[in-house]
Amino acid sequence: MSALSKLLRKAYKMGDIHSLPEFRRQKERAGRIRFLEREEEEALFSAIRSRSEDAWRLSVFLVDTGCRLGEGLGLIWNDVQDGRASFWITKSGRSRTVPLTLRAQQAAQIPRGRLKGPFAMLQQVRYRAVWNEAKAEIGLGADEQVVPHILRHTCASRLVQGGIDMRRIQMWLGHQTLQMTMRYAHLATNDLDSCVVVLENPLRRPAETAAPAAAPAPGAEGAEGDEISFAAAAAEG
């Protein structure tokens, strides 16, 4: 719907249409986000590597940075420095810089030669072809959700499951709004573990939970008795 709206607005500005139609927006239902398990990643990456070392390097870089395929392919050498990668051409229009894991750094380290960047020798069409061959080899050919973008979902899912807060994940992925990042919030099951601890404890009676009365200080009981006797005598008088 958003893509259609952009096309219509562009056509309106260019004078191709004379008015903009109105659409009644419907809320999108939150669907299941598919991500790779560790075993799936190992099998898929092994199949990719057997076909193309460069495609394997890019796959490792994508899953550890969470960047989009176009962002990874568009990197130039100056974008990868001091253990960090900067993405300037992004979907949200906002640049971002993220630290790199050790294997992501190694994936981007190749002889420069005449290449513009670490993955400049690849094109999307060729990479997707290698990807599709590899996923078919490991039995995931019929899974329509296993596309290169799943590496971005996988990175986000691992950050959430690792306890990273949503605001930092938003910054890491370069999401324009926090709402986009919240699609992964249901994966943070560890945040609910403390609820089980509370529910597992049996309910206690008020008498059992009340703190025991403090023992009187030495001599306090006698002093209290003398005070009561004195008050009673005063009342009788």
In a domain, 232, yes or no: no
> What's the pLDDT score for residue 79?
96
Q: What is the mean pLDDT of residues 137-161?
A: 95
Q: Which two tokens stand for residue 87?
A: 């993405």
Q: Which two tokens stand for residue 237?
A: 């008088």
The residues pairing with 87 across neighbouring beta strands, listed in sequence order, are: 96
Higher pLDDT, 8 or 51: 51
In a domain, 201, yes or no: no
In a domain, 127, yes or no: yes
In a domain, 207, yes or no: no
Q: What is the mean pLDDT of residues 60-77?
A: 96
In a domain, 20, yes or no: no
215 confidence band (pLDDT: 50, 70, 90): low
Say if residue 212's pLDDT is above 60: no
> What's the pLDDT score for residue 157?
92
Say if residue 211's pLDDT is above 80: no
What does the pLDDT look like over 12-66, one tens digit per residue?
677 777 676 665 554 444 567 899 999 999 999 999 999 999 999 999 999 999 9
Distance of CA 120 to the CA centre of its chain: 27
Say if residue 168's pLDDT is above 90: yes
In a domain, 66, yes or no: yes
In a domain, 13, yes or no: no
Q: Rounded CA gap, 187 and 167, in Å?
A: 15
Say if residue 229's pLDDT is above 50: no
Across the chain, what does the average pLDDT equal? 82
In a domain, 51, yes or no: yes
Say if residue 74's pLDDT is above 50: yes
> What's the pLDDT score for residue 33?
84
- Based on its alpha-carbon atoms, the radius of gyration of the chain, rounded to whole angstroms, reads 31
The number of folded domains in the chain is 1
The residues pairing with 86 across neighbouring beta strands, listed in sequence order, are: 97
> What's the pLDDT score for residue 223?
46
167: domain CATH number?
Answer: 1.10.443.10
- Residue pair 135/34 in contact by the 8 Å Cβ criterion: no
Say if residue 231's pLDDT is above 50: no
Among 145, 138, 143, residue whose Cα is nearest residue 45: 138
Say whether pTM exceeds 0.75.
no
* Cβ-based burial of 54 (10 A; exposed 0-12, middle 13-18, buried ≥19): buried
Among 29, 53, 79, 44, residue whose Cα is nearest residue 151: 44
> What's the pLDDT score for residue 23?
59
> What's the pLDDT score for residue 5?
66
* Cβ-based burial of 86 (10 A; exposed 0-12, middle 13-18, buried ≥19): middle
